[in-house]
Protein backbone atom coordinates (compact mmCIF):
# COMPACT_ATOMS: atom_id res chain seq x y z
CA UNK A 1 0.00 0.00 0.00
CA UNK A 2 2.93 2.33 0.62
CA UNK A 3 3.95 2.14 -3.07
CA UNK A 4 0.42 3.11 -4.07
CA UNK A 5 0.42 6.09 -1.77
CA UNK A 6 3.83 7.28 -3.00
CA UNK A 7 2.64 7.31 -6.62
CA UNK A 8 1.64 10.81 -7.75
CA UNK A 9 -2.12 10.85 -8.33
CA UNK A 10 -5.08 13.18 -7.96
CA UNK A 11 -7.02 10.36 -6.26
CA UNK A 12 -5.60 7.44 -4.27
CA UNK A 13 -8.09 4.61 -3.94
CA UNK A 14 -8.33 0.95 -3.07
CA UNK A 15 -10.43 -1.40 -5.17
CA UNK A 16 -11.07 -4.38 -2.91
CA UNK A 17 -12.77 -6.81 -5.23
CA UNK A 18 -13.34 -9.53 -5.04
CA UNK A 19 -13.39 -9.12 -1.27
CA UNK A 20 -12.56 -12.61 0.04
CA UNK A 21 -11.63 -11.91 3.66
CA UNK A 22 -12.04 -9.25 6.31
CA UNK A 23 -9.73 -6.26 5.90
CA UNK A 24 -8.75 -3.60 8.40
CA UNK A 25 -7.25 -0.49 6.81
CA UNK A 26 -4.67 1.08 9.15
CA UNK A 27 -5.95 4.36 10.59
CA UNK A 28 -2.87 6.21 9.41
CA UNK A 29 -3.97 5.66 5.79
CA UNK A 30 -7.65 6.47 6.25
CA UNK A 31 -7.63 9.18 8.88
CA UNK A 32 -4.42 10.73 7.58
CA UNK A 33 -6.11 11.58 4.30
CA UNK A 34 -3.84 9.27 2.34
CA UNK A 35 -6.69 7.24 0.81
CA UNK A 36 -9.41 9.16 -1.01
CA UNK A 37 -11.82 6.35 -1.86
CA UNK A 38 -12.59 2.69 -1.14
CA UNK A 39 -14.41 0.51 -3.69
CA UNK A 40 -15.57 -2.98 -2.65
CA UNK A 41 -17.43 -5.83 -4.28
CA UNK A 42 -18.07 -9.54 -4.19
CA UNK A 43 -16.94 -12.15 -6.69
CA UNK A 44 -19.00 -13.28 -9.69
CA UNK A 45 -18.66 -16.09 -12.17
CA UNK A 46 -19.01 -19.88 -12.18
CA UNK A 47 -16.61 -20.47 -9.26
CA UNK A 48 -17.42 -17.35 -7.29
CA UNK A 49 -16.96 -17.37 -3.54
CA UNK A 50 -19.31 -15.47 -1.24
CA UNK A 51 -18.52 -12.29 0.66
CA UNK A 52 -19.54 -12.04 4.31
CA UNK A 53 -21.74 -8.97 4.93
CA UNK A 54 -19.76 -8.11 8.07
CA UNK A 55 -16.61 -7.63 5.98
CA UNK A 56 -18.45 -5.00 3.94
CA UNK A 57 -19.95 -3.39 7.03
CA UNK A 58 -16.53 -3.13 8.65
CA UNK A 59 -15.04 -1.34 5.64
CA UNK A 60 -18.10 0.91 5.34
CA UNK A 61 -17.82 1.84 9.02
CA UNK A 62 -14.06 2.44 8.76
CA UNK A 63 -14.67 4.76 5.81
CA UNK A 64 -17.49 6.57 7.57
CA UNK A 65 -15.37 7.18 10.67
CA UNK A 66 -12.55 8.61 8.54
CA UNK A 67 -14.88 10.48 6.15
CA UNK A 68 -13.59 8.49 3.17
CA UNK A 69 -16.07 7.80 0.33
CA UNK A 70 -17.26 4.17 0.23
CA UNK A 71 -18.59 2.56 -2.95
CA UNK A 72 -20.17 -0.91 -2.80
CA UNK A 73 -20.34 -2.15 -6.39
CA UNK A 74 -21.98 -5.55 -6.05
CA UNK A 75 -22.57 -8.65 -3.94
CA UNK A 76 -21.25 -10.79 -6.77
CA UNK A 77 -22.92 -14.13 -7.45
CA UNK A 78 -23.88 -14.67 -3.79
CA UNK A 79 -26.13 -12.64 -1.52
CA UNK A 80 -27.18 -13.06 2.11
CA UNK A 81 -30.31 -15.14 2.80
CA UNK A 82 -33.04 -14.07 5.13
CA UNK A 83 -32.83 -15.95 8.46
CA UNK A 84 -34.74 -19.22 8.22
CA UNK A 85 -34.64 -19.26 4.40
CA UNK A 86 -32.47 -22.37 4.07
CA UNK A 87 -33.67 -24.64 1.25
CA UNK A 88 -31.08 -27.42 1.33
CA UNK A 89 -29.93 -29.04 -1.90
CA UNK A 90 -30.94 -27.88 -5.35
CA UNK A 91 -32.35 -30.02 -8.17
CA UNK A 92 -28.88 -31.08 -9.33
CA UNK A 93 -27.81 -32.10 -5.83
CA UNK A 94 -25.56 -29.07 -5.47
CA UNK A 95 -26.12 -26.65 -2.62
CA UNK A 96 -27.72 -23.44 -3.87
CA UNK A 97 -26.91 -22.08 -0.45
CA UNK A 98 -23.92 -22.03 1.84
CA UNK A 99 -23.04 -20.53 5.15
CA UNK A 100 -19.93 -18.40 5.51
CA UNK A 101 -18.00 -17.82 8.72
CA UNK A 102 -16.49 -14.50 9.79
CA UNK A 103 -13.11 -15.85 8.61
CA UNK A 104 -14.35 -17.08 5.21
CA UNK A 105 -14.92 -20.79 5.82
CA UNK A 106 -17.99 -22.12 4.02
CA UNK A 107 -20.25 -25.13 4.50
CA UNK A 108 -23.23 -26.49 2.59
CA UNK A 109 -25.66 -29.40 2.77
CA UNK A 110 -26.63 -30.71 6.19
CA UNK A 111 -23.65 -29.07 7.91
CA UNK A 112 -24.58 -25.75 6.36
CA UNK A 113 -28.17 -26.20 7.42
CA UNK A 114 -27.11 -26.75 11.04
CA UNK A 115 -25.02 -23.57 11.00
CA UNK A 116 -27.79 -21.64 9.25
CA UNK A 117 -30.18 -22.60 12.03
CA UNK A 118 -27.84 -21.96 14.98
CA UNK A 119 -24.73 -20.22 13.71
CA UNK A 120 -25.75 -16.59 13.41
CA UNK A 121 -24.83 -16.02 17.05
CA UNK A 122 -21.27 -17.01 16.15
CA UNK A 123 -21.17 -14.76 13.09
CA UNK A 124 -22.01 -17.32 10.42
CA UNK A 125 -24.24 -16.02 7.62
CA UNK A 126 -26.38 -18.01 5.17
CA UNK A 127 -25.85 -16.98 1.54
CA UNK A 128 -27.45 -18.05 -1.73
CA UNK A 129 -26.06 -18.16 -5.26
CA UNK A 130 -28.42 -16.13 -7.45
CA UNK A 131 -26.08 -14.42 -9.94
CA UNK A 132 -24.78 -10.87 -9.77
CA UNK A 133 -27.74 -9.32 -11.60
CA UNK A 134 -30.20 -10.69 -9.03
CA UNK A 135 -27.90 -10.29 -6.00
CA UNK A 136 -27.74 -6.55 -6.52
CA UNK A 137 -25.77 -4.04 -4.50
CA UNK A 138 -27.87 -3.06 -1.50
CA UNK A 139 -26.13 -3.31 1.88
CA UNK A 140 -28.23 -2.85 5.01
CA UNK A 141 -31.13 -1.37 3.10
CA UNK A 142 -29.28 1.15 0.96
CA UNK A 143 -26.88 1.56 -1.94
CA UNK A 144 -23.47 3.02 -1.20
CA UNK A 145 -22.47 5.10 -4.23
CA UNK A 146 -20.00 7.56 -2.77
CA UNK A 147 -17.28 9.14 -4.90
CA UNK A 148 -14.32 11.40 -4.08
CA UNK A 149 -15.21 15.07 -3.84
CA UNK A 150 -18.75 14.48 -2.58
CA UNK A 151 -19.71 16.03 0.73
CA UNK A 152 -20.18 13.50 3.54
Taking the CB of residue 100, how many other CB atoms lie within 10 A of it?
A: 26
Residue extents of the structural domains in the chain:
1-76+133-152, 78-129
Which parts of 7-55 are beta strand (E)? 13-16, 37-41
pTM score, whole prediction = 0.86
Nearest to 104 by CA among 23, 50, 46: 50
pLDDT at 108 over 80: no
What tens digit of pLDDT does each residue of 48-103 get?
Answer: 999 999 999 999 999 999 999 999 999 999 999 876 565 554 444 445 688 888 99
Cβ neighbors of 128 (< 8 A, separation 6 or more) are 78, 79, 81, 85, 87, 96, 97
Mean pLDDT over the full length of the chain: 85
Torsion angles phi and psi, residue 34, rounded to 5? -85, -25
Amino acid sequence: MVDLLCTPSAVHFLSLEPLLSPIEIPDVYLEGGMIDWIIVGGESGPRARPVHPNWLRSLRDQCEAARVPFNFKQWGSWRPCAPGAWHGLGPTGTPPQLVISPTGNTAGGFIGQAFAEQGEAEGWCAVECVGKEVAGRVLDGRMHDEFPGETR
